[in-house]
Amino acid sequence: ETGVTQTPRHLVMGMTNKKSLKCEQHLGHNAMYWYKQSAKKPLELMFVYNFKEQTENNSVPSRFSPECPNSSHLFLHLHTLQPEDSALYLCASSQGTSGTNEQFFGPGTRLTVL
C-alpha cells in the first residue's frame, strides 16, 4: 500500500462503546496529525505528533485519546463519545512539522455516534 491509509472507513458506535481509529503512513514521514471534519465547520486540528512525541493538543476533550507507537502508526482511541462527535476524522502525515512540509491526508473514517 502507498500513501496514508485509515481503518475503518466507516464506524457506528454507541455512546458507551470504546473503539479505536487507525492510521498508517507508508511515506517514511516523521510527523502525523489527527483532524476532525464536521458538517458546516472548518477542519479542526486535534493532535500533532512529531517523532512519536505529542507536540500539539488542540483543546480536545479527554474522551479522545491519541496514541503514536511509532512514526508510521497513529491511533485515536474513543470512549463515551457524544452524538456531536459524529464527523469525518482525517489523518495526515508530513516529513516534519516545519512549515514547508506538505501534509498528506488519508481518506478519513466516517464516525457516527448514536
* Residues making contact with other proteins (CB under 8 A): 4, 33, 35, 40-43, 45, 48, 50, 55-56, 58, 90, 92, 97-108
Nearer to other proteins, 45 or 80 (CB): 45
Question: Residue 109 is inside which H or E element, if any?
Answer: strand 109-113
Whole-number Cα distances in Å, 114 to 30, 49, 80:
35, 29, 11
CB of 20 to other proteins, least distance (A): 19
CB of 49 to other proteins, least distance (A): 11
Nearer to other proteins, 75 or 104 (CB): 104
The residue to which cell 454507541 is assigned: 14
Nearer to other proteins, 13 or 45 (CB): 45
DSSP assignments along 53-93, one per residue: EEEEE-S--TTEEEEEEETTEEEEEEES--GGG-EEEEEEE
CB of 80 to other proteins, least distance (A): 25
